[in-house]
Chain A
């Protein structure tokens, strides 16, 4: 495949750290309480803001780097945020007929996730015009 070994190593390390942090935060959640999945929700919004920041900054501001984007973007942010757990949480809400909760959780995750990429992007681009 001819992949740069540093790129592969960076994704592995970023992914490992992202997963460890995500799981560590999940451990702080006492919760069998069938309510708002605060941990996944916060991780997804925060990780998405960071990806928006890194992706914009690394692509548009800093010189091309062989390992920063794979380490921070593909590795860390990709692994720190998660789609599969969110879907499982959604179908568990549907199981107990909490349709309003499921719709609110899905809609606010997408709205805030999308909004956080938008804000992070604006933030990086504004900084560029100032400096």
Chain B
């Protein structure tokens, strides 16, 4: 990988994290804190767009920069798990279980749908 591509990964990775931070803040202030809707929306939208890029035929450095670097940073596994564990600690077992299962199933469906749309565009 060239220096330029590495620089791009860092820059886009930082931007992806900031997008996640601002969008989560925007959603959390409106939706309240019962269900971690911010992380859910971020992860599902990111999985959809990554599927779309793959469907559109992105490969190599284009996929690395737009997908792995940007969307990889934008979406997050760790916050999803942290929020689920904290819900269990608070006794919200049903919401925690739903958060884990629904995110997983909708996430895989969203990636598949995004890819399907991409291949037909």
Q: Which residues in A have some Cβ–Cβ distance to B below 8 Å? A: 1, 8, 11-20, 22-23, 26-27, 44, 47-48, 50-52, 55, 70, 74-75, 77-88, 90-91, 94, 106, 109-110, 113-114, 116-118, 121
Contacts and interface: CB of A to CB of B under 8 A. Distances in A.
A81 B76 contact: yes
B71 to A, nearest CB: 5
Contacts of A48: 77-78, 81-82
Interface in B1-41: 1, 6, 9-18, 20-22
Given A19-B69, A48-B82, A91 B17 contact: no
Given A52-B85, A85-B50, A87-B47, A78 B18 contact: no
Given A88-B51, A91-B51, A110-B104, A22 B72 contact: yes
Contact of A118 (B20, B69, B73, B85): B85
Size class of the B contact interface (CB-based, 8 Å) = 35 or more
Interface string B29-70: 000000000000001001101110010000000001001110
Nearest to A20: B10
B78 A113 contact: yes
A6 B13 CA distance: 18
Nearest to A43: B77
Nearest to B105: A106
Contacts of B14: 11-13, 15-16, 19, 75, 79
A99 to B, nearest CB: 12
Contact of A78 (B6, B17, B110, B115): B17
Given A15-B16, A16-B13, A83 B73 contact: no
Nearest to B10: A16
B107 to A, nearest CB: 4
A91 B104 CA distance: 11
